[in-house]
Structures are given as structure tokens and as C-alpha cells.
A and B are shown apart, each in its own frame.
Chain A
Amino acid sequence: MRTLRFLLRKEFRQIFRDKAILTLIFFMPVIQFIIMPLAADYEVRNVNLSVVDNDKSTYSQKLISKVIASGYFKLQGYNSSFKEAFQLIESDKADLILEIPHGFERNLIRETKQKLFVAVNAINGTKANLGGAYLSTIIGNFNADIRMQLIQQPRFSQFPVIEVVASNWFNPVLNYKVFIVPGILAILVTMIGGFLTALNIVKEKEVGTIEQINVTPIKKHIFILGKLIPFWVLAMIVFTIGLILARLIYGIVPIGSLLVLYVFIAIYLLTVLGFGLLVSTFCDTQQQAMFIMFFFMMLFILLGGLFTSIDSMPYWAKLITRINPVRYMIEVMRMVILKGSGFQDVLPQMAIVSLMAVILNGWAILNYKKTN
């Protein structure tokens, strides 16, 4: 125990001595945490719209002003032909084209049926899907208005109508920050813990100081603990700063219990640090360690369910997400902070992460012995 205390004192001193690293650990994540949520905005508004109005009738004018009044679309301009509008799509200045055919108003009244053309730049899936859907809804409403004007409606609807009432729970005003902030905090804490531990042991290897430790009677697990605890403490501090900032800047107050959150993050960090340690036992140079961490971090982050939904991934990718600790962290952050999930709700995630922590750290200790 005494050895551990000395080791810890040494490690902490080493960390605090290097001002540059210390700034990186605290400053960079804080800055990123403040900026990133502002950038991560998926909310579909300001969809750039180009209109080709071949009809120039009262109806076409009304439709266009209705579309713009909805607030989702930004009119990029009227174009005289589809070809001209398409050029706007090519140069990314427009996302959608609404083409109103010649004779729109006349045909609608005479033949009581008329088509409209909508073209969507579908490279960006979300914008395409949602923008197209909003436009259809607005056209549908416009259609209902027209019908109301043209025919005397009976008191009751003539046709069976199903009304869909949608309510969005946990985030009723659909504030995107609420969705993204817990996820970004999860990723930042993961990166700090993972990168620092991975680099630390490899650095000792590269510089040669590890040999010196290896010839002392320090037990392996004490050595590993000595490496693990300082970074665990640092990551916990960064996490706490993150929670405070989330509250101060974005007004996100965890609905669920902080205790549940902290118990989970404490175990989760052991998993992440264990992973970093394991990687460092495999590598000889910091360069290798960094690249391997980079590879896994990208996998963890992009397959973590923060940016794209895990449900829509193919089966094999879903299997990968099951051994992705970041996925569980993001899930639990959202569950506890936004939905108020309790200890029992997050028990499955906690069990998996604990198991991972045991396996990864155990493996790291075993593997470390081998290098001796």
C-alpha cells in the first residue's frame, strides 16, 4: 500500500510538472465542450429552396409564400427553368427544388388533380428526408386550404380522416443541444482517459525508464494501479467540469440521480483506461500506440450511436457496437441525464461495462508481465 502511495505521488507530480500536457488535458476539452454542441446541429431548418414557377398564378404564389412562411425553408431565388435551378443544387447553394408546372392552377380547378415536382439533393440523407417530408406536409396543408375554398365543406368530414397527434417526450421543444451535449461529454472523457493512459506506459518503454521499474520489487498490479489511478482521477475531474458547464451554459440539469451517473462513470473509466493500458502493453512506440488508439476511437465514436442511429446499422455493425464501451456510456448519459432512468434501468449497461473493465485490465496485467 505504501509503495502505491509513493508511486501515485510520483505519477501526479510528473503530470503536474508538465504544464503543456496539463493545459491540454483541461483546456482543450473545455473549449471543445463549449464549442462543439453549437456546431452539432442536425435540426433541419434553413433548407435552401429554389423555386421554378412556370405557372405564375395566384395559387402558385400562395403556395410559395406558404412554404416560406413555414420557417423551414430559405428561398434561394426563383429560377426560370429546372436546368437553372439544378445548377444551384450542383454548387450546393440549394437543397431542394420545387417546380410548379405550367397550367398548375387551371388544371387543378378543371381536372381537380394536378402534380407538383420536388427534387431533393439526396447526398445528405437527413436533410433530404426531412426537408422533403416537410415540403410534402406543407403542400398537403395548402391542398386542404384550397379544397376548403373551393367546396362548401359539410359539418363533418366527408372522408374518413385519421389525425396523427405526435408528442415528443423528454425534449418537447426538440432542442438539439439537449441531445448532443451528454454525448459529447461522454466522448471527450473517453478520449482523455484513453489517450493519456495509452501513451504513458509506452513513453516509459521508449525512454527506457520502464526497465528501472521492472528491476525494483514493485508488484505488477501495483504498478498498473499506479498508472491507472491518476488518469482516473483526472478524467473524473474533467467529467465533473463538463457536468457543471452543461448546467451553466446549456441549462442541462440531470433528471436522474447523480449517484447512479457517477457510479457508472467510475466503472466506465476503468474500462477505458484498461483499454488504453492494454494497447500500451502491445506497442513499442508512442506512434504505434497513438495510431491504434486513433483507429479504435474513431470506431468507438462513429459507431457509438451519437451521430447515426445504431438501429439502422447492418447486423454485423450492431454486433460491433455491443463491444463498444462508448455506446453504453452515451446510452447511460442520455438515460440518466435526460430521462431520469434509475439504477435498475442502467443495470444491464453497468454489468457489461464492468465485465469489460475486468477483462481489459486483467488482460493488460497479464500482457504486461509477458514483456518482462
Chain B
Amino acid sequence: MKQFIAFVKKEFFHVLRDRRTLLILFGMPIAQILIFGFALTNEVKDSEILVVDYAKDDASQQIIAEIAASRYFDIRNAALTHKEILSTFQKGKIKAVVVFPSDFNRDLLHNNQAQIQIITDATDINTANMITNYLTAIIKDYQTKINENLTIPYQIIPETRMLYNPQLKGAHGFVPGVMALVLMLVSVMMTAISIVREKEMGTMEILLVSPFKPVLVIFAKAFPYLILSLINVAAILFLSVFALELPIKGSLLLLFGESTLFIITCLALGIFISIKTDSQQIAMLISLMGMLLPTMMFSGFLFPIENMPVPLQVISNIIPSKWFYIIVKSIMIKGLGIAALWKETLILAGMTLFLLAISLKSFKIRLQ
């Protein structure tokens, strides 16, 4: 035990001495939480749209004014033919075109029916969908307004309540996601690289012939990263509460407990990678190229997992950050306790044990 502590101390000094890496280690997650917490949102605002008003009558002008007043759109007025619409789309900036046919108001007044055409750039499907929805809602509002004096019979009015996130802030979904992503990659890469580095430089051999148990060498190397990652968790939570105004509804202690578990899972994965590889370059490429995109995609914070084809849904289960994302979201935003999360917790614990077991097994083989 005394030996172990001495070894951990040595590793700590090792990590702390490298100021630049330390700066990266702490600065990076903090910068990322702030940037992504504020910048990422699934909302659509300030979309540049083009209004082509062939009518230029009262009704069309009023609707355009309503559209302009909403924060969703930036209007560019233009008189265009359909051919020119194509070329504006090809130049890139415009997301949608709203066309008022001539005689818009006349049709509305005399036939009680008029048409508005919305053309969207559907290369970006979500934006296209949302723009159509927002525009339709604005137009429907206008319609209700002109019908104000008429009572419409048999009306069903849906009242919508947004649970957990009434202001529809992006941070509610993204902060737990970025947290899972950053912790995962930092812990995995750091451990994997620091162990492989010793191998590459040949210093590992020296450690292995020492009377110190090889397994403890590995654990001692991983330990400082556990502490550093926990400090990162604290910093991230501090920022999300005070800068991003995200609540922590559940138990802080539970959140830290689960974070510790998740970090250990990642460290175990890092150890596993380090045992299987011989050069830093390969360890890094595996942990970065092989893990950055999959963790982003399969955690569930960017894309709903239930939309994926079944085989991929199955694959997503082996991504630890998926489970951690669910846990963080549930504790922070929904305020749930361990009773609701025991399954996810057990899965993470199981993964950790499995990774450690196979790492230790292949580690022994290497020594013989």
C-alpha cells in the first residue's frame, strides 16, 4: 500500500509538471462546455428567408410584417422569377422563399381562400421542417386575427406544455451530452497514451522488473486521471449552474458518484487500449478517430437512438457515454434518484469489470 501511494505520488508529479498538458486538460473541457452550452441549439432563429411578393397588397404586407417581427427570420425582399430562386438557393445563404401570388388579398376577400407558397432548401431537412412550421404558425395566427369577429364553431384548442425545459434551451440536452463526450475522451486518451508512452520509450520494462506488481503500476498510472477528471466534473457542473443557468434538480452526491463510476469505466477502456497497442500514434488514432464520432453519434444527444436501425441501436448499448448521458440528464434535469437509474448504473459497472478483467488477462499473457 505504501508503495502504491508513493507510486501514485510520482505519477501525480509527472502529470502536474507538464504545465501545458495540464492547461489543456482543464481549459479544454471548460471552454467546450461554455461554447457548446451557449452556441448549440436545435432551435431555428435568424434564418435568412426571401419574400417574393407578387401581390403587394394589404394582406401580404401585414403577413410579411408579422414574419419580420418574429425572431426566427431575417427577411430579404426581392422580386424574382422561379429561375432566379434556384440560383439564390445555389449561392447558399437563403433557407426558404415565401411567395405571395398576385391577387392574394382579392382571393382572400372574395373567395375566402388564398394561397401562400413556401419553398424550402431541404438539403438541411430539420431547418426546412422547422421553418415551414414556424411560417405556417405565423400565417395561422394572422388568419385567426382576421377571423376575430367571426366565431368559428366547434373549435378544439390544443394547449401545449413544455416539460423540464419550458424555454426550449439547447443547453438542457447538450450540456449532459458534451459532459459525457469530454469526460470519456479525456479519460480514455490520457490513460491510453500515458501507458503506451512508457512502452514506446522502453521505461515500462524497467517498471515491470521492479518488485512492484505490474497491475499496480497500471492502476497507479490511471489514478491521477481519476482525480483530474473529477475536478473537471466539478468545474463543468459549476459552469452549467452559474453560467448556463442549468439546474441540478437531483442529488449532487449521486451525480458525483455516478461520474466517478463513469470515469473509472473510461479509465478501464483506456487501460485496455494501451495494453492492446504498441505506439502512441495508434493508441491516439484509435481513441480519437475510432471514438470521437461514434460517441458523438451514439450517445443520443445529437440523434435520437430510437430512430436508428435495430443493429445500430444494439451497437449503441456498448457505448458507455450513452448510459452516462441518460444518467446525467435524469439526475440534473429530471431530478430522479438512484431508484430510477439502477439499471444504467449496473450496466456501467458491468462494463468496467469486463474491461478490467480482459485487460488484466491480456496483460499477463504479455509478460510471459
Contact = CB atoms under 8 A, between A and B. Distances in A.
A224 B354 CA distance: 45
B312 A38 contact: yes
A286 B281 CA distance: 8
Contact of B42 (A90, A129, A169, A298): A129
B13 interface: no
19 contacts: A28-B290, A42-B303, A46-B306, A90-B336, A114-B155, A117-B158, A129-B43, A133-B133, A158-B150, A160-B113, A178-B123, A179-B123, A195-B285, A295-B31, A302-B40, A308-B41, A309-B44, A340-B90, A341-B90
A192 B143 contact: no
A166 to B, nearest CB: 4
B92 A335 contact: yes
Contacts of B35: 299, 303, 317, 320
Interface stretch (B19-27, B204-212, B233-241, B265-273): B19-27
B92 A331 contact: yes
Contact of A311 (B95, B129, B139, B161): B95
B81 interface: no
Nearest to A157: B112
Nearest to B146: A160
B293 A187 contact: yes
Contacts of B87: 345
Interface in B284-340: 284-286, 288-290, 292-294, 296-298, 302-304, 306-309, 312, 316, 326, 329-330, 333-334, 336, 340
Interface of B: 20-21, 24-25, 28, 31-32, 35-36, 38-48, 86-87, 89-92, 95, 108-109, 111-130, 132-133, 135-137, 139-140, 142-143, 146-147, 150, 152-166, 168, 170, 172-173, 181, 185, 189, 193-194, 197, 279-282, 284-286, 288-290, 292-294, 296-298, 302-304, 306-309, 312, 316, 326, 329-330, 333-334, 336, 340
Interface of A: 20-21, 24, 28-29, 32, 35-36, 38-46, 48, 86, 89-92, 108-109, 112-130, 132-133, 135-136, 139, 142-143, 146-147, 150-151, 156-172, 174, 176, 178-179, 184, 187-188, 191-192, 195, 199, 203, 283-288, 290-295, 297-299, 301-303, 307-309, 311-314, 317, 320, 331, 334-335, 338-342, 345
Contacts of A335: 90, 92
A130 B90 contact: no
- 5 tightest CB-CB pairs across the interface, nearest first? A168-B122, A125-B42, A317-B39, A122-B165, A122-B162
A254 to B, nearest CB: 13
Residue among B113, B143, B307, B312 having the largest count of chain A Cβ atoms under 10 Å: B307
Contacts of A159: 112, 147, 150, 152
Contact of A120 (B36, B162, B193): B162
B113 A129 contact: no
A129 B170 CA distance: 12
Contacts of B136: 164, 166
A165 B306 contact: no
Given A39-B312, A123-B333, A287-B193, A302 B44 contact: no
A93 to B, nearest CB: 10
Given A43-B125, A43-B307, A159-B150, A129 B32 contact: no
Contact of B113 (A42, A120, A163, A320): A163
Given A308-B170, A334-B123, 18 more contacts: A24-B289, A29-B289, A113-B155, A114-B156, A129-B42, A157-B111, A160-B109, A161-B114, A162-B115, A164-B116, A165-B115, A187-B293, A287-B280, A295-B28, A303-B35, A308-B40, A320-B35, A339-B121
Nearest to A32: B293
Given A162-B139, A191-B292, A127 B168 contact: no
A169 B309 CA distance: 26
Contacts of B193: 286-287, 290
B142 A150 contact: no
Residue among B32, B42, B114, B340 having the largest count of chain A Cβ atoms under 10 Å: B42
A293 B287 CA distance: 13
A143 to B, nearest CB: 4
B90 A345 contact: yes
Given A123-B172, A345-B91, A42 B25 contact: no
A22 to B, nearest CB: 11
Given A129-B133, A169-B120, A291-B189, A311 B163 contact: no
Contacts of B164: 121-123
A339 B294 contact: no
A290 B285 CA distance: 9
A81 to B, nearest CB: 16
Nearest to A41: B307
B180 to A, nearest CB: 13
Contacts of A301: 292, 296
Given A36-B297, A161-B143, A195-B289, A166 B118 contact: yes
